[in-house]
Amino acid sequence: MKLLVPVKRVLDFNVKVRVKADQSGVDLANLKMSMNPFDEIAVEEAVRLKEKGVATDILAVSIGPMQAQDTLRTAMAMGADRALLIQTDEDLQPLAVAKVLKALVDIEQPDLVILGKQAIDGDNNAVGQMLAALMGRPQATFASKIEVSGGVATVTREVDGGLQTIAVDLPAVITADLRLNEPRFASLPNIMKARKKPLDIKPLAEFGADTAPRLQVTKVSEPETRKAGIKVAGAADLVARLKNEAGVL
Amino acid sequence: MAVLVIADHDGAHLRETTAKTVTAALKIGGDVDVAVLGGSAAVAEAAAKIAGVRKVRHASSDALGHGLVEAEEAAILPLAGEYDAILAPASSAGKNLIPRLAAKLDLAPITDVLAVVDAKTFQRPIYAGNAVETVKTSDAKVLATIRPTVFDAAPQGGSASVEALAAGSAPAFSRFVSQDTASTGRPELGAAKIVVSGGRALGSEEEFKAVLEPLADRLGAAIGASRAAVDAGYAPNDYQVGQTGKVVAPDLYIAIGISGAIQHLAGIKDARVIVAINTDPDAPIFGVADYGLVGDYKTLIPELMAELAKVGR
């Protein structure tokens, strides 16, 4: 069984986000970039499916600049078998990403696509759903547990108020939520091995997808922030203030 | 102009997030209809009572009752031509459906909308709420999820008609297996007026329950947790409050033993009043709290319980 795992290179989650003074975007210059944490969970799940003998071939793909090769090497150090960089310096919007991935799915014919539920930069939470729609196949979003057997994935999903389990026929698209697994750290020997695994680079144009942006970002601004209030003397003071000052009791 | 709002419900009750999404729809402008997918007749009737709604379109089937997204797609897609915008609350169901519909219609979805600037321009959070982008769409139609906590609910008082909507036929490649909905007898986290929330400082699942449950029961509150507490196994995952969990906006949010990671703060910043109880006076949570109480929750929570009892809570 073949798995496709799309991964995105994003600003590392530990780096403090700064909005550019001219409000044109977020400052990314010379800052640490890493694999989107939700995609890391997706890679881990794919590798576990391979370790269980369910999957045989894991292809990691990234759409982005040449530097995204690092992200793909990380995926291979974790256990992906091969990688493809679809090279572009444009920042593609989710619909465009889904179209490019659909074109790749048509070529590679994976049984299952696993990816993060959202990237922590744009926070769109859209590509998995859109790819499933373009493929005309089922989707299982926000997965916290995946079992695959007999051409069916049984997926437990994190939904409002609890958990829902659904069964989807393959091929399907699954998006990984936070608690699906805890991704492994790539060991040094595996990082060395990953250097020898195949990493293909193809230009975006080769996939023939319409990647024109539909959304124009007119401004990026700092969010409104709350101001610190006061320290209260004790429980009695707190309750009195909540009742009389804030009026919430 | 016409806008379709996809209702959020639990099968038996309409969630308030629907009326909040109607408010966003009215800001876009035009006639506002509500689609109720699955759910009882009472859900559709509740939607018809929201002021400003023109009509309610109610579709039912087993698959819709289980919230299977492929069935929802089949019910809504044939209506798309009638509307200039299709909105859903940014609930787990709305987040699941809207991008799928958008791709089918070759449209770019706009997710987690914080503000409607005009019919084509919206604000939404990026980088876990650390920045806000304003986006203008060039598409003919808007498909968006709305963050309900930042919109007021449209008032009651409407008397819209309820029409049957064909469920459509979806391929059978997706099937419902089971639903595990925790029934706590407490209000839903996303809709509660008061939320008490615990962090890693509580140290164990037993302690988490022993501290938070009596306080929540006394206040009629929902219980939340920080991501650290959930990851440590002190609380179930659907308790998680934050940008990657549940975004809440209660009248009163009480954070106990929560230091205040950025992604947690992003999920509570629209609360009316935030109370923080923490031993560390420099914890980031105090930077956003209206009232801070520095000290050990082990002594402060029993004192708080006693004081609440004195004022009849």
Q: Do B132 and A131 touch (CB under 8 A)?
A: no
Which pLDDT value is given to residue A226?
86
Q: Which residue of B has its CA nearest to A136?
A: B104
Q: Do A231 and B275 touch (CB under 8 A)?
A: no
* Rounded alpha-carbon distances, angstroms, from residue A83 to A79, B75, B125, B184, B282: 11, 38, 31, 46, 45
Q: Do A217 and B102 touch (CB under 8 A)?
A: no
Q: Which residue of B has its CA nearest to A170?
A: B173
Q: Which residue of B has its CA nearest to A38?
A: B244
Helix (H) or strand (E) holding A54: none
Q: Which residues of A touch B181 (CB under 8 A)?
A: 161-162
CA atoms of B219 and B288, how far apart (whole Å) = 22
Q: Do B121 and A218 touch (CB under 8 A)?
A: yes
Q: Residue by residue, what is the 3-state secondary structure of chain B?
A: CEEEEECCECCCCECHHHHHHHHHHHHHCCEEEEEEECCCHHHHHHHHCECCEEEEEEECCHHHHCCCHHHHHHHHHHHHHHCCEEEEECCHHHHHHHHHHHHHCCCCCEEEECEEEECCEEEEEEHHHCEEEEEEECCCCEEEEECHHHCCCCCECCCCEEEECCCCCCCCCEEEEEEEECCCCCCCCCCCCEEEEECHHHCCHHHHHHHHHHHHHHHCCEEEECHHHHHCCCCCHHHEECCCCECCCCCEEEEECCCCCHHHHHCCCCCCEEEEEECCCCCHHHHCCCEEEECCHHHHHHHHHHHHHHCCC
Task: Give the contacts of B15 (CB within 8 A, at least 6 positions apart).
Answer: B7, B8, B9, B89, B91, B188, B190, B191
**Does A174 reach chain B within 8 Å, measured CB to CB?**
no
Please give the biggest Cα pair distance in chain A.
Answer: 69
The pair of structure tokens assigned to A143 is 């997965």
Count CB atoms within 10 A of the CB of residue A39: 30
Q: Residues of chain B with pLDDT > 90: what percent?
A: 86
Q: Which residues of A touch B273 (CB under 8 A)?
A: 242, 246, 248
Q: Using CA of residue B294, residue B265, residue A142, residue A201, what is the dihedral sign?
A: negative
Q: Do B182 and A161 touch (CB under 8 A)?
A: yes
Q: Do B73 and A133 touch (CB under 8 A)?
A: yes
Q: Do B244 and A215 touch (CB under 8 A)?
A: no
Choose, out of B9, B96, B114, B127, the residue to mutate when testing the contact with A (most A CBs < 10 Å).
Answer: B127
Is residue B221 within 8 A of residue B196, CB to CB? The reply is: yes
Which pLDDT value is given to residue A199?
98
CATH number (3.40.50.620, 3.40.630.30, 2.30.33.40, 2.30.30.40) of A2-245 reads 3.40.50.620
Is residue A129 within 8 A of residue B88, CB to CB? The reply is: no
CA atoms of B269 and B163, how far apart (whole Å) = 39
Write down the ipTM of this complex. 0.94
Q: Do B308 and A249 touch (CB under 8 A)?
A: yes
Is residue B53 within 8 A of residue B32, CB to CB? The reply is: yes
Comparing CB atoms, the residue among B96, B133, B171 nearest residue A141 is: B96
Q: Using CA of residue A40, residue B269, residue A239, residue B310, what is the dihedral sign?
A: negative
pLDDT band at B245 (very low <50, low <70, confident <90, very high): confident
Closest to B162 (Cα-Cα) out of B269, B59, B297, B257: B59
**Does A61 reach chain B within 8 Å, measured CB to CB?**
no
Tell me the nearest-neighbour CA distance from B75 into chain A, angstroms: 15
User: What 8-state DSSP symbol labels residue A177?
Assistant: -
Q: Do B303 and A235 touch (CB under 8 A)?
A: yes
Where along chain A do its domains lie? Answer: 2-245
Which pLDDT value is given to residue B182?
66
Q: For B170-222, what is each residue's pLDDT tens digit?
A: 888 999 999 987 666 788 888 889 999 999 999 999 999 999 999 999 999 99
Which pLDDT value is given to residue B183?
66
Query: What does R_g of chain A's alpha carbons equal in angstroms?
Result: 21
Question: What part of A 183-212 touches B (C-beta under 8 Å)?
Answer: none
Q: Which residues of B touch A142 (CB under 8 A)?
A: 92, 95-96
Q: Which residues of B touch A17 (CB under 8 A)?
A: 127-128, 130-131
Comparing CB atoms, the residue among A122, A130, A166 nearest residue B177 is: A166
- Domains detected in chain B: 2-164 (3.40.50.620), 194-310 (3.40.50.1220)
Comparing CB atoms, the residue among A132, A226, A246 nearest residue B100 is: A132
Which pLDDT value is given to residue B237?
83
How far is C-alpha A218 from the chain's CA centre? 25
Task: Give the contacts of A29 (CB within 8 A, at least 6 positions apart).
Answer: none
Q: Do B92 and A159 touch (CB under 8 A)?
A: yes
Q: Do A166 and B175 touch (CB under 8 A)?
A: yes
Q: How many residues does chain B have?
A: 313
Which pLDDT value is given to residue A244?
93
Which pLDDT value is given to residue B63?
95
Render each residue's pLDDT in chain A as its tens digit; 249 residues: 999 999 999 999 889 899 999 999 999 999 999 999 999 999 999 999 999 999 999 999 999 999 999 999 999 999 999 999 999 999 999 999 999 999 999 999 999 999 999 999 999 999 999 999 999 999 999 999 999 999 999 999 999 878 999 999 999 999 999 889 999 999 999 999 999 999 999 999 999 999 999 999 999 999 888 889 999 999 999 999 999 999 998
